[in-house]
Amino acid sequence: MDDFWFEFVEVTQSIGDGVLFGSTYALIGIGFTLIFGAMGKLNVAYAAAAMAGAYSSLAIYILFDAPLVVIFIVSAICAAILGYLVYLTCFRFIPVHNHLAALMASVGGLFFIDEVIVHATRGSPLAFPSMFSEAYFEVGPYGIRGDLLFVFFIGLISTGVLLYVLFRTRLGLATRAVAQQDVAARLCGMSIHLTNSTTFAVAGLLGGIAGAMTAAAVGILSPVMILPLTIKGLIVTVIGGLGSIPGAIIAGLFVGGFENVVMYFRGIDERDMYVVALLFIFLVFRPNGLFGKTITRD
């Protein structure tokens, strides 16, 4: 019985750790899904721009010894600017219905940003300041990392703000209108390019926070994080349902917990295999994800 109890605590602890860390996946997933919801296109360079935002904020921290709050704000702003640039270079001038060209352009954007970071840092890992890194709460047999709890709450707050912007502001109204019927939105006087570029910038703001949060949670920034985060973000977006923000949040937390429990029982060698199998199962049996709606463009 003792052995069972001990194992139970270990497994639930692993799930809890994973769910908390999954909030970083959720933040990245929200960015992917926001852009897909607005334009019906995947911006594969999103996570790279988010991490580039984190790198920019780290430069500010090193150069000016800026406080942590400033670092997170700078990361968000830089990622927003990068998001706008990605829109300009990879989407703005590509014909609307050429989805493949836009996708490939954003893949190019991903590798370009990655290489710029590698060249700027020599690929060397850099220590990233952490918030509450020493905070570790022990509740009975369980331990909870204070920094991951912080990431979790920031994720919730960011999502709340984003939902408010989408459903309670004119920008949100415009974004939804352009997403649903771009011709009608244009006839009503909305600028499609302005709306799309603003969506990229808003998604970039969120990505910058996610990038800084992820770096703070790991305690290090390295270019090797970019590709795994991109892949996890895309998996989260598909499982949550393309275009669904609540879906991205729940899928992010779910994938985080799922991969940790797989790692506990099967080890690292099989972890990603099961996560990708999960993606495959969703694509086959529930292609619209947990909360995605069938796309009904007029």
Partner 1 sequence: MIRRGTEKMKRVTRLVSTVVLAATVAMPLAASAADRSVKVLGWGAKSGPLKSFGVNSEAALRSAIAQINAAGGVKLGDGSSAPLEVISYEDSACKKDQNIAILRKTTSTTDAIVGMGATCSGSCQAMFGVLQKKVGDSSDSGVQMPILSDTCIRPGLAKISEWAFRNVPNEVAMYDKLFAWLRSENPDVKTFSGGTETDQGHSFITHTAIIVQAAVRHGFEWVGPSVPELGPKVKQGMKELQAAAKTQHWLMGDTNYSVQARKIKKQNPDMILVSSHPFSACGFLKEMKRQKVKPKLLVGLTSSASQETLNGCMSAAEGLIIPTGFAPITPEAVSANEIVSEAGGFLDLHSAAAWENAYLVKAAVEKAGISANSDTVAEDRRKFRDALASISESAGLIGPVTRDGATGEASKPYVYVQVVNGEWKVIHDPR
279 binding partner 1? (CB under 8 A): no
296 binding partner 1? (CB under 8 A): no
Using CB under 8 A, which of the segments 118-126, 178-186, 196-204, 205-213 binds partner 1?
118-126
Among 5, 96, 119, 286, binds partner 1 (CB under 8 A): 119
Among 5, 10, 88, 161, binds partner 1 (CB under 8 A): 10
Using CB under 8 A, which of the segments 48-56, 126-134, 172-180, 193-201 binds partner 1?
126-134
Among 115, 161, 164, 167, binds partner 1 (CB under 8 A): 115
Nearest approach, Cβ of residue 198 and partner 1 (Å): 30
Nearest approach, Cβ of residue 70 and partner 1 (Å): 22
Among 59, 264, 279, 288, binds partner 1 (CB under 8 A): 264
260 binding partner 1? (CB under 8 A): yes
Question: If you write DSSP's letter for every residue of the chain in order, what string do you get?
Answer: -HHHHHHHHHHHHHHHHHHHHHHHHHHHHHHHHHHHHHHS---TTHHHHHHHHHHHHHHHHHHH---HHHHHHHHHHHHHHHHHHHHIIIIITS-TT-HHHHHHHHHHHHHHHHHHHHHHHTT--EE---SSTT-EEEETTEEEEHHHHHHHHHHHHHHHHHHHHHHHSHHHHHHHHHHH-HHHHHHTT--HHHHHHHHHHHHHHHHHHHHHHHHHHHSEE-GGGHHHHHHHHHHHHHHH-TT-HHHHHHHHHHHHHHHHHHHHHH-HHHHHHHHHHHHHHHHHH-TTTTTPPPP---
Residues that bind partner 1 (CB under 8 A): 10, 13-14, 17-18, 21, 24, 115, 118-119, 122-127, 133-134, 136, 143, 145, 214, 217-220, 222-225, 227-229, 256, 259-260, 263-264, 267-269, 272
